Structure 1
């Protein structure tokens, strides 16, 4: 009985720890996004007055482009997660929602994220049958 409660408490502790970490990241992200204009103004003041306008325009352009890139990467990762969720439900893979969440985070890794995601999906499908693994590989490859 003690082992069962230790396992249940351990899982609960892990879930709470993960939720708290996610909340902390969310709050800090929002804080930094809100304070971004004032932080950039402080850094722009470090530039010589004769070049401050140019530094400001270049800095704003960089922030805008990086923000657009990150936003598009998050959108692509979310679409990949939705695709994997539909794929997992369609070929009856276990833990479709958990698999989609893993893909959501793995797809954010530049260059290799989708390859890792495909590997994870195919390995999970392989636990069911080789046919499902092959189908998952073909469909995920067609998606990417």
Structure 2
């Protein structure tokens, strides 16, 4: 077959250029794949985030029963609580939604009356045009897509919760053996922070919803249950969520009277102070300790990158990054 040629010179310009071109091509292909599958990867990330939050409860149950059964109990219990809450609130929500639809002409009149506060707000911010731009068909499609995504997240979260110990072990095995014990300590601390933040954030949001319902009911603001549920959901998003919830509820309260609207605005400002300086430090702050400035910057960056989901996960991610920096980078600098 002839004599073999000379070995390939790995230092030749041709070989170096081909290797660089192949590296660029692989990088571009990987980036394209990530962008194409970004929606799916986002759902996977949300499911894993929820699994980390459910891990402490699942681990306690797993001491008394098989891990898969414990994961199923946790997920089914969570879905049962959520379903029971929705079922209990379905009739009042439907009634109040009907009242909101029937009262739409009156609100439209108020928006067009430039002598009212809502009319002046409409003239300044174009509220009527924004409302008219919303199509019911688009809303229905968005709700259907959201429901489908929720089902996918629940299914993925169930698998993640059931296999979390093996996933955790597989992640830690990627670290060098000599540094694996320290990686495990830092990783477990990060998981604890994420779990504590998720549980604490849900608790604070439930308190916000209950307080809002009590206030609106006491002052005769229409649709108190609908608005309370909206406040509880939006309050899950740090900073921006509570601001948006307070602004929307205040606009509805203004339809009762200006004093009630101003009082409602004052209630949300006061509650925000109580939440930031009393509830969050006591419920969440013990586990997730980050400066207020870092919280605001993290939420803004998270929202800019991933929207509402990014804002929701921004605080625990920032806490995890600060922990890693403190335990790795700062610790190394202190030894030099």
- Normalization by structure 1: what TM-score? 0.79
Q: Which has the higher contact order (CA 8 A, sep 6+)?
A: 2
2:187 is matched with: 59
Residue 114 (structure 1) aligns with: 242
For the pair shown, the structure with the greater C-alpha radius of gyration is 2
1:36-92 deviation digits (Å, cap 9, x = unpaired): 222111111111111111111110111101211121111111110111111121112
Is structure 2 residue 210 aligned with structure 1 residue 82? Answer: yes
Question: How many residues are treated as equivalent by the alignment?
Answer: 138
1:36 partnered with 2:164:
yes
Structure 2 stretches lacking a partner, 5+ long: 1-138, 273-336
CA distance in 1, matches of 2:150, 2:140: 15
| Residue-by-residue CA offset, 1:5-44 (whole Å, 9 max, x unaligned) | xxxxxx9998777656545444433432333222111111
Q: 1:91 maps to what in 2?
A: 219
Q: Which runs of 4+ in 1 moved over 4 A?
A: 11-24
Residue in structure 1 matched with residue 271 of structure 2 by the alignment: 143
Show structure 1 runs of 5+ residues with no match.
1-10
Secondary structure of the 1:128 match is coil
In the superposition, relative to structure 1, how do residues 112 and 134 fare at CA in structure 2: closer, same or farther (>3 Å)?
A: same
Give the 3 Å change call, closer, same or farther, for CA 26–103 of structure 1 in structure 2: farther
Q: 1:95 to 1:26 in 2, by over 3 A?
A: farther
TM-score of the superposed pair, with normalisation by structure 2: 0.37
Counterpart in 1 of 2:132?
A: none
